[in-house]
Structure 1
Amino acid sequence: MTITISKDDFERALPVGTSAHDEVFDAVAPECQLQVQFFDMALLGEEGKNMVMEAEDGVLLTLYKRLVCVSAFLAVFRQLDLVLTPTGFGIVSNDMVSPASKQRVDALEGQLRTAQCYALAMMVDSLRSEAWGKSGQAQNYIRHLFSAYSFFAYAKSTAVTYLDWQNMQPAIVDADEFLRTRISDELMDELLCLYRQNEDWKSLASFQLIALIRDFTDMWSRKGQDAARQPVFRRLMRCVESDPEVFKSYFNSNAYKRNHHENFQNSKDSTAFVFGC
């Protein structure tokens, strides 16, 4: 079944105005269908599409339509001669009305990009499940444990924007790479799998560790490598070291050996066995 976007869907989704004139929706409608096709393939896949269509409460479908509508309007709105009013917007239809100023249009774009980031974050977080979490779409949209949903949901300010999220990206990548050297690629990948499949909460230790990783990433965004000298990193390492059963992949990793400076054991089973005189 193909998901269709109505004028009511479009009006509810946009973060500005309360009504859109028919000509605005008519101009955006073709792009809405293109965005549906794009997100069906890039984000949902078969598993995600089944979830959207089968959700009993309709929340997932509403989130999806919001993402599609905001993305569609963002893609074409600069091509329209928009008139912005306190109650909505329309398209210039005669010489007596001037289009909105560049300043107002730029401000609208900022609102739309932030709304798109938030809508995508909500959608991706809602898709986390055993079926979708194993898909290529999940691997593409959830690459780190510090997600867009974490950023917007737990932000210390309600005024965070898409620019703040963009500026956060280097810290997310650098913190992730640092942690991979300290608690191993194997454990980080294991945690990512749990998170994508919405199974991170089934183990209290894993849930706590992921929360600490997010706190550490946030600290890294402010202090850089000095984050490794902060209490949050010590708590993170204590969490990992305290549970050999849950974090078995770490205890079997080279990262564990490096952290504990295990000395070379000169045994006959070693390929580097040294014969005594």
Structure 2
Amino acid sequence: MFIITDNDRLLEHVPNVLAHVEGERSLFDKIHPWLTIAEQWVIDTFTGNETLQFIASDETSSVWAQTASVIVCEALQRAIPSLDLVLTPNGFGIVSNQNVAPASKERVERLISTLKANRDYAINLLLDSLQYIDSWQDSKQRSWFAATLLQSPRACKSAIRNPGSLDEWELFCASRVTAMNIESAIAEEFISPELMIRLRLALISHDASNDDLSLALRVRDCVLHEVDGKRRDVPALNRIVNFIRKYPDHFPEWVNSDTAKLFAPPVFENKKQSSGYFF
């Protein structure tokens, strides 16, 4: 592992842990398998190997703290259901003693929910920070997030009215698939696939122009409107198209696209040989 490499680093992110006595396994040792799984999940989903090693090289950076928080919260929420269980010759038992009583089911579930919320908050911060790391720019992880306008859990948290039992990350993953299909239709009918690519990149680039970023957010709002189960906001999309048409030099991708032709109907001319006339 690169980030959480010992018990001291782990405990920086875990409050209210009783100190272990000599001969007793540390929390790091107890949840080591889950820490390994969580770090690999972060590598596969967010950073890639090269970027994670870059992050690990500076433990004083904010991106290191964000990455560590994601790993620890993910590992703990996976491990907690097993931490108070021991396997005996007669089956599983609950760890207990005279000084510390086992936590109730409700408290444990609340802790797991809190860990997931903290993990998701750290994920949003991490995704913001990754934009500034050179090695991340050409990673397949960045390409995955840039494949849609919905690029972080926070993007859909406030837009989805009924998330059900899904946590923020689960809601993001579920909404992302729907968003991609909606974006494809909106691109073909209004924005153009070419300009849609540019707007997606604007949302994931720290140096995007304010105009591109503003337009990308307006289109994303329309996408989230549909992801939430509402009908397509055609008036809003038409206003966006009218804005784009006012600045053809700034949006050449749209001007030269097949989509633009949908907004430039043919001009009919009266001809003697025609069977009718247009007024």
TM-score when normalising by structure 1: 0.72
The answer to which structure has the higher helix fraction is 1
> Do 1:146 and 1:213's aligned partners in 2 also have CA atoms closer than 8 Å?
no
> Do 2:195 and 2:253's aligned partners in 1 also have CA atoms closer than 8 Å?
yes
Which protein shows a greater Rg?
A: 2
Measure, in 2, the Cα distance between the counterparts of 1:251 and 1:150.
32
Greater mean alpha carbon deviation, residues 114-123 or residues 251-260: 114-123
Which of 33, 38, 51 pairs up with 2:36?
33
Measure, in 1, the Cα distance between the counterparts of 2:239 and 2:129.
29
TM-superposed CA distance for 1:69, in Å, is 0.7
Q: CA 1:175–1:186 in 2, change beyond 3 Å: closer, same or farther?
A: same
Say whether residues 1:237 and 2:241 are aligned partners.
Answer: yes
> Do 1:4 and 1:33's aligned partners in 2 also have CA atoms closer than 8 Å?
no
- Match of 2:264? 260
Measure, in 2, the Cα distance between the counterparts of 1:167 and 1:46.
26
- Match of 1:267? none
* SS of residue paired to 1:245: coil
1:109-142 per-position Cα deviation (integer Å, ceiling 9, x unaligned):
2222232222222212211145423321111234
- Match of 1:273? none
Greater mean alpha carbon deviation, residues 190-199 or residues 207-216: 190-199
Q: CA 1:12–1:145 in 2, change beyond 3 Å: closer, same or farther?
A: farther
Q: CA 1:103–1:253 in 2, change beyond 3 Å: closer, same or farther?
A: same
Q: CA 1:133–1:66 in 2, change beyond 3 Å: closer, same or farther?
A: same
1:76-119 per-position Cα deviation (integer Å, ceiling 9, x unaligned):
2111218xxxxxxxx83448855333333223222222322222
- Match of 1:204? 210
Measure, in 1, the Cα distance between the counterparts of 2:62 and 2:69.
11
Query: Which letter maps to 1:123?
Result: L
- Structure 1: state its 5+ residue gaps: 83-90, 265-277
Say whether residues 1:216 and 2:222 are aligned partners.
Answer: yes
Say whether residues 1:188 and 2:196 are aligned partners.
Answer: yes
- Structure 2: state its 5+ residue gaps: 21-25, 86-93, 269-279
Say whether residues 1:140 and 2:144 are aligned partners.
Answer: yes
TM-superposed CA distance for 1:190, in Å, is 2.2
Measure, in 2, the Cα distance between the counterparts of 1:222 and 1:177.
17
> Do 1:11 and 1:18's aligned partners in 2 also have CA atoms closer than 8 Å?
no
> Do 1:43 and 1:137's aligned partners in 2 also have CA atoms closer than 8 Å?
yes
- Match of 1:62? 65
Which of 105, 108, 114 pairs up with 2:108?
105
Query: Which letter maps to 2:179?
Result: I
* SS of residue paired to 1:225: coil
* SS of residue paired to 1:244: coil
What count of residue pairs does the alignment treat as equivalent? 249
* SS of residue paired to 1:224: coil
- Match of 1:88? none
* SS of residue paired to 1:19: coil
Say whether residues 1:173 and 2:180 are aligned partners.
Answer: yes
Identity of aligned residues (%): 22
Say whether residues 1:13 and 2:16 are aligned partners.
Answer: no
State the superposition RMSD in angstroms. Answer: 3.7
TM-superposed CA distance for 1:24, in Å, is 3.6
> Do 2:136 and 2:142's aligned partners in 1 also have CA atoms closer than 8 Å?
yes
- Match of 1:225? 231
> Do 2:222 and 2:232's aligned partners in 1 also have CA atoms closer than 8 Å?
no
Query: Which letter maps to 2:183?
Result: D
TM-score when normalising by structure 2: 0.71
> Do 1:183 and 1:250's aligned partners in 2 also have CA atoms closer than 8 Å?
yes
1:55-81 per-position Cα deviation (integer Å, ceiling 9, x unaligned):
695101111111111111122211121
Deviation >4 Å, runs of 4+: 20-23, 53-57, 95-98, 152-157, 163-171
* SS of residue paired to 1:13: coil
* SS of residue paired to 2:206: coil
> Do 1:5 and 1:32's aligned partners in 2 also have CA atoms closer than 8 Å?
no
